[in-house]
Structure 1
């Protein structure tokens, strides 16, 4: 089995003011280091592949229609 290494990277995430607090709180719940200063983009410290996927998932929840998310979930249930 191949192993993968992931160096830490600081990522600036552009999210609307309305969604910023939700994203920040969710990342905190997932123990992903992040910070958010007034009038600044959300800064996220990506330290693993898992953290990158979790950030992608949170972003997808905000940017995808509810109907598309439901359809994706139904496809996943069908595969199980």
Structure 2
């Protein structure tokens, strides 16, 4: 998967991004992005293309892909990091 990088202060659209998603997960992710009103497409080359317009969309795309592709252990570790981050504030 290609990482979506953006400065937290940037409001510039990132434009079209190509995500390398396993074919077995591509349609599920595509449909979830459609539900989130994120412009995306599945061209014949097997990629998943998304139009990224702002940082909220970057977060939603990352979250959607992570939920589909990460292992249970990776998701648990991510959740624990979030909880620890909130405890530090």
TM bracket (short chain): 0.7 to 0.9
CA RMSD in angstroms comes to 2.1
C-alpha deviation, 1:32, in angstroms = 0.4
Query: Runs (4+) of structure 1 moved beyond 6 Å?
Result: none
Tell me which residue corresponds to 1:19.
25
- Among candidates 23, 36, 53, match of residue 47 of structure 1: 53
Tell me which residue corresponds to 1:37.
43
Q: Contact 1:28 / 1:34 at 8 angstroms: preserved in 2?
A: yes
TM-score, structure 2 length as denominator? Answer: 0.70
Unaligned runs of 5+ in 2: 1-8
Matched, 1:65 2:77: no
User: How many residues are paired up?
Assistant: 78
Instruction: String of CA shifts for 1:43-66, please: whole Å, max 9, x gaps.
Output: 100001010111111222233211
